[in-house]
Amino acid sequence: MTQPADFDAEHITALKRSEERLRALFEALEDGFCIIEFFDGPHGPLSDYVHVEANSGYERQSGISNVVGMTLRELEPDDAEGWADLYGIVLRTGEPIRFERYFLAAGRHIEVSAARVEPASRRQVSVLFRDIEARRRAQDALRASEALARENIKRVQLALSAGAIIGTWFWDIPQDRFTVDEAFAQSFGLDPSLGREGLSLNQIVATVHPDDQAGLAAAMQEAIRRGGSYAHQYRVMRADGRYYWIEANGSVEHGPDGTPLSFPGVLLDIEQRRAIEQERDRAAAALRALNETLEQRVAERTEELMKAEEQLRQAQKMEAVGQLTGGLAHDFNNLLAGISGAIEMVGTRLKQGRIADVDKYLVAAQGATRRAAALTHRLLAFSRRQTLDPRPTNVNMLVNGMTDLIQRTVGPAIRVETVGAAGLWPTLVDASQLENALLNLCINARDAMPEGGRITIETANKWLDRAGARTHDVPEGQYLSLCVTDTGTGMTPDVIVKAFDPFFTTKPIGQGTGLGLSMIYGFAKQSGGQVRIYSEVGQGTTVCIYLPRHYGDAGEDASQGVEVKVSGAGSGETVLVVDDEPSVRMLITDILEDLGYTVIEAADSASGLRVLQSDVRIDLLVSDVGLPGGMNGRQMADAGRQVRPDLKVLFITGYAENSVIGNGHLEPGMQVLTKPFVVETLAARVRDLVEN
């Protein structure tokens, strides 16, 4: 291809010379110069740039070599965003900028001028910069010197106003000639024969305390070297021969060539200030010594408090146990007196042949026994150890079924109202125990309204979130509430705190056991719920039972309110009775034999299991839960069902083996009966299990 005439050899040579001159000028620049080109990096559009050109001044001004081809994030990873933002503004707006900034990679401050390289489509910015670290340091030093000078001026002004200046001096440094005023001479204890002019530095230093002379000389030499303000504290001998603390303040003046010329200054009396500082230092040392032992003292005190707290808890525990046992002893002694006295009178009348009088003593003994059973039941409820029979329950139906009974119990002077929530959720609960709890709450409400009033029984659905669950001390979730509200006398806060304690009562002696609310509390907790009291003195009280929602249907208990008729045994029906208590085993055996059943007895689980595994006819197993012999009653029954799948079982328990028998979740054909029991109840349960 033929070269155009405009580009002949002469023009090419001239162009090369021009480029060489430009390159020489580019490299001759003392300042650092570079051209950067933006590109879209992984951090976003225009988030990074590469150095496409750089002169030798770049390395001189920054100390960084071989920068061409290096990206911003390679050069300055810790401050890349800041530089990209600054130069990005220049690229987008086309407006040049000038600024000072610390160049982290170079470790120095630089002064920068930046402008966009046209056209903008090239995405390039030219950068011219120089190292200003020395200038910045000089500026910082000047500012520090000015600040110290201002501080010294303030000191002098304060000293003048307080009369603390005790002398002035002027030192001609090249001639080493001190000129001092009379106050200075007296302050330093100078020999009057020396005069106040033409003194040397050594003559001045000679009056300084020997321990401070080296420090004073070094401080003055340092002030002469750097120039500017000076302040130093040391001790001098005064005219009375004693050493006193002073502070020298001055300023060294340098000539244009940096030669130190003069050193004028003043002396301040700081004896009192130093005394105060020494007292402060002594106090600080004492405080440090105190702090060093404070942690140990706090630990010892904390241990003492913990011991005292443990002793208090133990005392409170013993007080609670004493209250509990005292209440139990009081009530059971009354009941035992009635039972033992009635039995003795039965024996006496039988010996006398007065059989007609026996019935009233038997009735008295049975009544005392029932009250003892009720007391034990309430204790078990409080301790959450009672045997429950939870079933899906419609609480609205339960309340409606009890309204008439409650109204008759509280009397005509009190109006009973019920407010049942529509769509009330069912709950899994022992219905008979809930009825008992509701009746107890209504009786308490009645007693709080001696002149009459109103009782409101209300149900509601409650959804307790995390905060509500924490307040009610239950797991978060859905609950239903059964609340009894009265318009009575109300409770004080200290009574509310103790309301659930066993045997605590505000009623007169003989009019309450103090177990009603504690029984309700234990029953609610054992059912997975909670009880809360809300009360104001003179306004009334609300007691709410919260029970977990049951996700299922609530069926009606067909047995409620239906009188059970006891019939005898069928032909050949056999019952196995397993109980380790001989008197209980004898009683159950006699009851069942009177009903016509054939009874086989066993005293432990091993003997009972051998009978179950034999070929003997067994229509029903009646067993205690807590048994000797290596297995409990439930385990023995389960083992027996391995060979007799249709075996009917009635567990009889006197305590809290609720977890052993399944927490109320019994398999079909299994029921539970709590000791002590009524004979008719035992007979009805046996007949029901055998026939169904």
- Strand 620-624 relative to strand 574-578, pairing: parallel
Residues with Cβ within 8 Å of 187's Cβ and at least 6 positions away in sequence, in order, are 166, 167, 236, 238, 246, 267
Q: What is the pLDDT of residues 70-92, one digit of tens each?
A: 999 999 998 899 999 999 999 99
Number of domains comprising the chain? 4
155 vs 589, residue with greater confidence:
589
pLDDT of 16 strictly over 70: no
Per-residue pLDDT at 575: 92
Q: 176 with 84, same domain?
A: no
Q: 586 with 676, same domain?
A: yes
Beta bridge pairs of residue 455: 416, 486
Per-residue pLDDT at 503: 56
Residue 678 lies in a domain: yes
90: CATH: 3.30.450.20
Which of 269, 296, 323 is the endpoint of a domain? 269
Per-residue pLDDT at 93: 92
Per-residue pLDDT at 324: 56
Q: 524 with 610, same domain?
A: no
Q: 35 with 184, same domain?
A: no
Q: Tell me phi and psi for residue 674, to 5 degrees.
A: -95, 135
Q: 513 with 421, same domain?
A: yes
Residue 328 lies in a domain: no
Q: 108 is in which domain, residue-wise?
A: 5-131
Q: 75 with 157, same domain?
A: no
Per-residue pLDDT at 255: 81
Residue 315 lies in a domain: no
442: CATH: 3.30.565.10
Q: 112 with 159, same domain?
A: no
Per-residue pLDDT at 406: 87
Q: 397 with 538, same domain?
A: yes
Angstrom distance (rounded) from CA 106 to CA 132: 12
- Of 57-61, 83-87, 322-326, 400-404, the one with minimum mean pLDDT is 322-326
Q: 425 with 520, same domain?
A: yes
pLDDT of 333 strictly over 70: no
Residue 291 lies in a domain: no
233 vs 563, residue with greater confidence:
233
Residue 561 lies in a domain: no
Residue 301 lies in a domain: no
The answer, as to whether pTM is greater than 0.75, is no
pLDDT of 425 strictly over 60: yes
Angstrom distance (rounded) from CA 305 to CA 645: 62
**Beta carbons of 621 and 643 less than 8 angstroms apart:** no
Which of 213, 236, 269 is the endpoint of a domain? 269
Residue 327 lies in a domain: no
Mean pLDDT for the chain overall: 79
Angstrom distance (rounded) from CA 27 to CA 14: 20
Which of 512, 533, 548 is the endpoint of a domain? 548
Residue 216 lies in a domain: yes
Q: What average pLDDT score do residues 352-376 get?
A: 72
Q: 50 with 11, same domain?
A: yes
Q: 142 with 123, same domain?
A: no
642: CATH: 3.40.50.2300
Tell me 120's DSSP state.
G
Q: 149 with 200, same domain?
A: yes
Number of neighbours of residue 296 by Cβ within 10 angstroms = 9
pLDDT of 289 strictly over 60: yes
